[in-house]
Chain A
Protein backbone atom coordinates (compact mmCIF):
# COMPACT_ATOMS: atom_id res chain seq x y z
CA UNK A 1 0.00 0.00 0.00
CA UNK A 2 2.89 2.32 0.83
CA UNK A 3 4.42 1.76 -2.60
CA UNK A 4 1.04 2.13 -4.34
CA UNK A 5 0.43 5.43 -2.57
CA UNK A 6 3.97 6.55 -3.41
CA UNK A 7 3.44 5.79 -7.10
CA UNK A 8 0.13 7.65 -7.05
CA UNK A 9 1.58 10.83 -5.50
CA UNK A 10 4.96 10.69 -7.24
CA UNK A 11 3.15 10.01 -10.51
CA UNK A 12 1.75 13.55 -10.41
CA UNK A 13 5.24 14.95 -10.92
CA UNK A 14 5.74 12.45 -13.73
CA UNK A 15 2.65 13.74 -15.51
CA UNK A 16 3.33 17.38 -14.71
CA UNK A 17 7.12 17.93 -14.45
CA UNK A 18 6.61 21.65 -13.72
CA UNK A 19 4.83 20.68 -10.49
CA UNK A 20 7.80 18.49 -9.58
CA UNK A 21 10.26 21.33 -10.21
CA UNK A 22 8.25 23.80 -8.11
CA UNK A 23 7.84 21.29 -5.28
CA UNK A 24 11.57 20.49 -5.35
CA UNK A 25 12.13 24.16 -4.49
CA UNK A 26 9.45 24.25 -1.79
CA UNK A 27 10.29 20.88 -0.23
CA UNK A 28 14.07 21.19 -0.31
CA UNK A 29 16.04 20.94 2.94
CA UNK A 30 16.09 24.69 3.64
CA UNK A 31 13.08 26.62 2.30
CA UNK A 32 10.29 25.54 4.68
CA UNK A 33 12.46 24.93 7.79
CA UNK A 34 13.74 28.53 7.54
CA UNK A 35 10.17 29.82 7.11
CA UNK A 36 9.09 27.88 10.22
CA UNK A 37 11.92 29.28 12.34
CA UNK A 38 11.25 32.80 11.05
CA UNK A 39 7.62 32.35 12.16
CA UNK A 40 9.03 31.49 15.61
CA UNK A 41 10.97 34.78 15.57
CA UNK A 42 7.87 36.70 14.44
CA UNK A 43 5.82 35.10 17.23
CA UNK A 44 8.46 36.05 19.80
CA UNK A 45 8.82 39.71 18.80
CA UNK A 46 5.59 40.47 16.97
CA UNK A 47 2.81 39.86 19.49
CA UNK A 48 1.11 43.00 20.76
CA UNK A 49 -0.97 41.66 23.64
CA UNK A 50 1.22 41.10 26.72
CA UNK A 51 -0.59 37.98 27.91
CA UNK A 52 -0.64 36.46 24.44
CA UNK A 53 3.05 37.37 23.95
CA UNK A 54 4.05 35.47 27.10
CA UNK A 55 2.11 32.42 25.86
CA UNK A 56 3.66 32.67 22.38
CA UNK A 57 7.17 32.98 23.78
CA UNK A 58 6.63 29.92 25.95
CA UNK A 59 5.30 28.11 22.86
CA UNK A 60 8.44 29.06 20.93
CA UNK A 61 10.67 27.72 23.71
CA UNK A 62 8.71 24.44 23.81
CA UNK A 63 8.85 24.33 20.00
CA UNK A 64 12.64 24.68 20.03
CA UNK A 65 12.97 21.91 22.63
CA UNK A 66 10.61 19.72 20.56
CA UNK A 67 12.61 20.28 17.38
CA UNK A 68 15.85 19.43 19.22
CA UNK A 69 14.33 16.26 20.67
CA UNK A 70 12.87 15.33 17.27
CA UNK A 71 16.32 15.58 15.69
CA UNK A 72 17.76 13.37 18.43
CA UNK A 73 14.95 10.81 18.00
CA UNK A 74 15.56 10.62 14.25
CA UNK A 75 19.34 10.25 14.78
CA UNK A 76 18.78 7.33 17.19
CA UNK A 77 16.16 5.76 14.93
CA UNK A 78 18.37 5.83 11.82
CA UNK A 79 21.16 4.06 13.74
CA UNK A 80 18.76 1.27 14.69
CA UNK A 81 16.86 0.96 11.42
CA UNK A 82 17.79 1.80 7.84
CA UNK A 83 15.26 2.03 5.04
CA UNK A 84 16.40 2.66 1.47
CA UNK A 85 15.06 5.59 -0.52
CA UNK A 86 12.37 5.01 -3.18
CA UNK A 87 14.83 5.56 -6.05
CA UNK A 88 17.10 2.86 -4.56
CA UNK A 89 14.30 0.30 -4.20
CA UNK A 90 12.02 0.81 -7.17
CA UNK A 91 12.95 0.56 -10.86
CA UNK A 92 14.15 3.89 -12.27
CA UNK A 93 11.19 4.21 -14.67
CA UNK A 94 8.75 4.08 -11.72
CA UNK A 95 10.33 6.94 -9.74
CA UNK A 96 10.26 10.57 -10.82
CA UNK A 97 13.15 12.06 -8.88
CA UNK A 98 13.39 15.87 -8.75
CA UNK A 99 16.12 15.97 -6.11
CA UNK A 100 19.70 14.94 -5.38
CA UNK A 101 20.25 11.35 -4.14
CA UNK A 102 20.13 11.41 -0.32
CA UNK A 103 22.14 8.56 1.25
CA UNK A 104 20.65 8.58 4.76
CA UNK A 105 17.71 6.44 5.90
CA UNK A 106 14.35 7.15 4.30
CA UNK A 107 12.45 6.31 7.51
CA UNK A 108 11.48 8.47 9.31
CA UNK A 109 11.46 11.64 7.26
CA UNK A 110 13.70 14.05 9.18
CA UNK A 111 12.06 16.91 7.31
CA UNK A 112 8.52 15.86 8.31
CA UNK A 113 9.60 15.13 11.90
CA UNK A 114 11.02 18.64 12.30
CA UNK A 115 8.10 20.47 10.68
CA UNK A 116 5.41 18.50 12.53
CA UNK A 117 7.23 18.81 15.88
CA UNK A 118 7.22 22.59 15.34
CA UNK A 119 3.57 22.64 14.22
CA UNK A 120 2.19 20.44 17.02
CA UNK A 121 4.09 22.26 19.77
CA UNK A 122 2.88 25.66 18.61
CA UNK A 123 -0.68 24.35 18.07
CA UNK A 124 -0.91 23.44 21.78
CA UNK A 125 -0.50 27.12 22.72
CA UNK A 126 -1.69 29.03 19.66
CA UNK A 127 -4.32 27.38 17.43
CA UNK A 128 -4.08 29.93 14.60
CA UNK A 129 -0.30 29.88 14.20
CA UNK A 130 -0.31 26.12 14.82
CA UNK A 131 -2.76 25.64 11.95
CA UNK A 132 -0.57 27.75 9.63
CA UNK A 133 2.45 25.64 10.60
CA UNK A 134 0.40 22.45 10.05
CA UNK A 135 -0.46 23.59 6.52
CA UNK A 136 3.23 24.34 5.85
CA UNK A 137 4.22 20.92 7.23
CA UNK A 138 1.58 19.13 5.14
CA UNK A 139 2.63 20.89 1.93
CA UNK A 140 6.30 20.12 2.63
CA UNK A 141 5.64 16.49 3.54
CA UNK A 142 3.44 15.93 0.47
CA UNK A 143 6.15 17.52 -1.63
CA UNK A 144 8.81 15.12 -0.33
CA UNK A 145 6.80 12.18 -1.69
CA UNK A 146 5.94 14.03 -4.88
CA UNK A 147 9.60 14.71 -5.70
CA UNK A 148 10.53 11.11 -5.00
CA UNK A 149 12.72 11.20 -1.87
CA UNK A 150 10.31 9.61 0.64
CA UNK A 151 7.65 6.93 0.86
CA UNK A 152 4.35 8.04 2.47
CA UNK A 153 5.12 5.78 5.45
CA UNK A 154 8.33 7.76 6.09
CA UNK A 155 6.20 10.89 6.35
CA UNK A 156 3.70 9.17 8.63
CA UNK A 157 6.63 8.02 10.78
CA UNK A 158 7.89 11.61 10.84
CA UNK A 159 4.49 12.83 12.10
CA UNK A 160 4.54 10.22 14.88
CA UNK A 161 8.15 11.07 15.82
CA UNK A 162 7.28 14.76 15.80
CA UNK A 163 4.28 14.17 18.05
CA UNK A 164 6.32 12.04 20.48
CA UNK A 165 9.10 14.67 20.59
CA UNK A 166 6.51 17.39 21.27
CA UNK A 167 4.94 15.32 24.04
CA UNK A 168 8.35 14.92 25.68
CA UNK A 169 9.10 18.63 25.21
CA UNK A 170 5.74 19.61 26.70
CA UNK A 171 6.29 17.49 29.81
CA UNK A 172 9.90 18.63 30.11
CA UNK A 173 8.55 22.18 29.92
CA UNK A 174 6.17 21.44 32.79
CA UNK A 175 8.83 19.75 34.91
CA UNK A 176 11.41 22.46 34.25
CA UNK A 177 8.89 25.31 34.26
CA UNK A 178 11.09 27.41 36.60
CA UNK A 179 13.92 27.19 34.04
CA UNK A 180 11.62 28.42 31.23
CA UNK A 181 10.35 31.20 33.49
CA UNK A 182 13.95 32.14 34.31
CA UNK A 183 14.84 32.33 30.60
CA UNK A 184 11.78 34.48 29.89
CA UNK A 185 12.53 36.79 32.83
CA UNK A 186 16.17 37.10 31.81
CA UNK A 187 15.26 38.04 28.24
CA UNK A 188 12.71 40.52 29.61
CA UNK A 189 15.44 42.16 31.69
CA UNK A 190 17.49 42.43 28.49
CA UNK A 191 14.49 44.09 26.73
CA UNK A 192 14.15 41.07 24.41
CA UNK A 193 10.81 39.61 25.54
Chain B
Protein backbone atom coordinates (compact mmCIF):
# COMPACT_ATOMS: atom_id res chain seq x y z
CA UNK B 1 0.00 0.00 0.00
CA UNK B 2 2.80 2.40 0.93
CA UNK B 3 4.54 1.77 -2.39
CA UNK B 4 1.31 2.51 -4.26
CA UNK B 5 0.80 5.73 -2.27
CA UNK B 6 4.40 6.77 -2.92
CA UNK B 7 4.11 6.11 -6.65
CA UNK B 8 0.85 8.06 -6.94
CA UNK B 9 2.42 10.94 -5.00
CA UNK B 10 5.53 10.96 -7.22
CA UNK B 11 3.27 10.81 -10.28
CA UNK B 12 1.30 13.81 -9.04
CA UNK B 13 4.43 15.84 -8.34
CA UNK B 14 5.91 14.86 -11.71
CA UNK B 15 2.76 15.93 -13.56
CA UNK B 16 2.36 19.23 -11.71
CA UNK B 17 6.13 19.81 -11.85
CA UNK B 18 6.20 19.59 -15.66
CA UNK B 19 3.25 21.98 -15.75
CA UNK B 20 4.86 24.54 -13.45
CA UNK B 21 8.12 24.32 -15.41
CA UNK B 22 6.24 24.95 -18.67
CA UNK B 23 4.37 27.93 -17.20
CA UNK B 24 7.56 29.36 -15.65
CA UNK B 25 9.51 28.87 -18.89
CA UNK B 26 6.73 30.52 -20.92
CA UNK B 27 6.54 33.47 -18.52
CA UNK B 28 10.31 33.82 -18.53
CA UNK B 29 10.65 33.53 -22.37
CA UNK B 30 12.77 30.37 -22.03
CA UNK B 31 11.74 29.01 -25.43
CA UNK B 32 14.36 26.26 -25.25
CA UNK B 33 12.44 24.68 -22.36
CA UNK B 34 9.01 24.75 -23.98
CA UNK B 35 7.29 21.70 -25.47
CA UNK B 36 5.18 23.83 -27.79
CA UNK B 37 6.11 26.60 -30.23
CA UNK B 38 3.39 28.89 -28.82
CA UNK B 39 3.48 30.11 -25.22
CA UNK B 40 -0.31 29.92 -24.98
CA UNK B 41 -0.19 26.14 -25.41
CA UNK B 42 2.38 25.93 -22.62
CA UNK B 43 0.10 27.84 -20.25
CA UNK B 44 -2.79 25.57 -21.26
CA UNK B 45 -0.63 22.48 -20.67
CA UNK B 46 0.29 23.84 -17.21
CA UNK B 47 -3.35 24.50 -16.40
CA UNK B 48 -4.36 20.95 -17.30
CA UNK B 49 -1.48 19.17 -15.52
CA UNK B 50 -1.66 21.29 -12.37
CA UNK B 51 -5.46 21.03 -12.35
CA UNK B 52 -5.40 17.21 -12.57
CA UNK B 53 -2.78 17.01 -9.81
CA UNK B 54 -4.66 19.34 -7.51
CA UNK B 55 -7.88 17.36 -8.04
CA UNK B 56 -6.12 14.09 -7.12
CA UNK B 57 -4.45 15.64 -4.06
CA UNK B 58 -7.68 17.31 -2.93
CA UNK B 59 -9.52 13.98 -3.00
CA UNK B 60 -6.56 12.01 -1.58
CA UNK B 61 -8.18 10.96 1.71
CA UNK B 62 -11.30 9.73 -0.05
CA UNK B 63 -9.27 7.63 -2.50
CA UNK B 64 -6.72 6.35 0.01
CA UNK B 65 -8.40 5.95 3.36
CA UNK B 66 -5.64 3.60 4.59
CA UNK B 67 -1.98 4.62 4.94
CA UNK B 68 -0.26 7.99 5.03
CA UNK B 69 3.03 9.40 3.80
CA UNK B 70 4.97 10.93 6.71
CA UNK B 71 6.40 14.47 6.40
CA UNK B 72 10.03 13.48 5.82
CA UNK B 73 9.03 10.76 3.33
CA UNK B 74 6.83 13.29 1.56
CA UNK B 75 9.79 15.68 1.20
CA UNK B 76 11.93 12.88 -0.28
CA UNK B 77 9.20 11.79 -2.69
CA UNK B 78 8.56 15.39 -3.74
CA UNK B 79 12.28 15.76 -4.49
CA UNK B 80 12.27 12.57 -6.61
CA UNK B 81 9.13 13.63 -8.50
CA UNK B 82 10.48 17.13 -9.14
CA UNK B 83 13.90 15.91 -10.31
CA UNK B 84 12.17 13.50 -12.71
CA UNK B 85 9.97 16.35 -13.98
CA UNK B 86 13.03 18.55 -14.52
CA UNK B 87 15.01 15.81 -16.33
CA UNK B 88 11.98 14.99 -18.49
CA UNK B 89 11.44 18.67 -19.34
CA UNK B 90 15.11 19.23 -20.22
CA UNK B 91 15.26 16.14 -22.44
CA UNK B 92 11.81 16.41 -24.05
CA UNK B 93 12.20 20.13 -24.83
CA UNK B 94 15.68 19.49 -26.25
CA UNK B 95 14.35 16.78 -28.57
CA UNK B 96 11.22 18.70 -29.60
CA UNK B 97 13.13 21.95 -30.27
CA UNK B 98 16.19 20.32 -31.80
CA UNK B 99 15.67 21.82 -35.26
CA UNK B 100 14.04 25.04 -34.10
CA UNK B 101 17.08 27.07 -33.11
CA UNK B 102 20.10 27.87 -35.29
CA UNK B 103 23.39 27.50 -33.40
CA UNK B 104 23.51 30.62 -31.19
CA UNK B 105 26.57 32.81 -31.09
CA UNK B 106 25.76 34.98 -28.05
CA UNK B 107 27.35 34.30 -24.67
CA UNK B 108 24.33 34.15 -22.39
CA UNK B 109 24.76 32.33 -19.10
CA UNK B 110 22.48 30.36 -16.81
CA UNK B 111 18.74 30.02 -17.40
CA UNK B 112 18.71 32.96 -19.83
CA UNK B 113 20.79 30.93 -22.28
CA UNK B 114 17.75 28.68 -22.73
CA UNK B 115 15.87 31.55 -24.36
CA UNK B 116 17.32 30.74 -27.78
CA UNK B 117 18.79 27.25 -27.44
CA UNK B 118 17.84 23.91 -25.93
CA UNK B 119 19.45 22.50 -22.80
CA UNK B 120 21.44 19.92 -24.79
CA UNK B 121 22.62 22.60 -27.27
CA UNK B 122 23.68 24.78 -24.32
CA UNK B 123 25.56 21.98 -22.57
CA UNK B 124 27.29 20.84 -25.77
CA UNK B 125 28.34 24.41 -26.65
CA UNK B 126 29.71 24.78 -23.09
CA UNK B 127 31.90 21.71 -23.57
CA UNK B 128 32.99 22.90 -27.02
CA UNK B 129 34.15 26.14 -25.39
CA UNK B 130 36.16 24.13 -22.86
CA UNK B 131 38.03 22.35 -25.73
Known contacts A45-B111, A67-B75; A30 and B69 CB within 8 A of each other: yes
> Which A residues from 99 to 157 make CB contacts under 8 A with B?
99-100, 102, 110, 114
Chain A residue numbers with a CB within 8 Å of B65 are: 100
Question: Contact: B110 with A41, CB < 8 Å?
Answer: no
Most central of A25, A74, A188 by chain B CB within 10 Å: A25
For this complex, 14 residue pairs linking A to B, each with C-beta atoms less than 8 Å apart, are A25-B61, A26-B58, A28-B61, A34-B13, A34-B16, A46-B28, A68-B75, A187-B110, A188-B111, A189-B126, A191-B111, A191-B122, A192-B110, A193-B111
Contact with A along B1-16 (1 / 0, CB 8 A): 0000000010011001
Most central of A25, A38, A68 by chain B CB within 10 Å: A38
Q: How far in angstroms is the closest Cβ of chain B from A143?
A: 12
Interface size on A, residues (CB 8 A): 38
Which among A25, A45, A190 is the interface contact of B24 at CB below 8 angstroms? A45
Which among B20, B61, B109 is the interface contact of A41 at CB below 8 angstroms? B20
- Confirm or deny: A166 has a beta carbon within 8 angstroms of a beta carbon on chain B: no
- Confirm or deny: B119 has a beta carbon within 8 angstroms of a beta carbon on chain A: yes
Chain A residue numbers with a CB within 8 Å of B109 are: 188
Q: How far is the CA of A99 from the CA of B27 in the complex (A)?
A: 38
Interface size on B, residues (CB 8 A): 42
Chain A residue numbers with a CB within 8 Å of B34 are: none
- Confirm or deny: A90 has a beta carbon within 8 angstroms of a beta carbon on chain B: no
Chain B residue numbers with a CB within 8 Å of A114 are: 71
Q: How far is the CA of A120 from the CA of B29 in the complex (A)?
A: 29
- Confirm or deny: B123 has a beta carbon within 8 angstroms of a beta carbon on chain A: yes
Question: Contact: A100 with B61, CB < 8 Å?
Answer: yes
Which among B53, B68, B72, B123 is the interface contact of A34 at CB below 8 angstroms? B53
Question: Contact: A46 with B16, CB < 8 Å?
Answer: no
Most central of A33, A46, A74 by chain B CB within 10 Å: A46
Q: Which residues of A contact B (CB under 8 A)?
A: 24-26, 28-31, 33-35, 37-38, 41-42, 44-48, 50, 53, 67-68, 71, 74-75, 99-100, 102, 110, 114, 187-193
Question: Contact: A71 with B27, CB < 8 Å?
Answer: no
Known contacts A37-B78, A38-B20; A192 and B111 CB within 8 A of each other: yes
Chain A residue numbers with a CB within 8 Å of B75 are: 67-68, 71
Most central of A35, A45, A48 by chain B CB within 10 Å: A45
Chain B residue numbers with a CB within 8 Å of A74 are: 71
Question: Contact: B72 with A71, CB < 8 Å?
Answer: yes
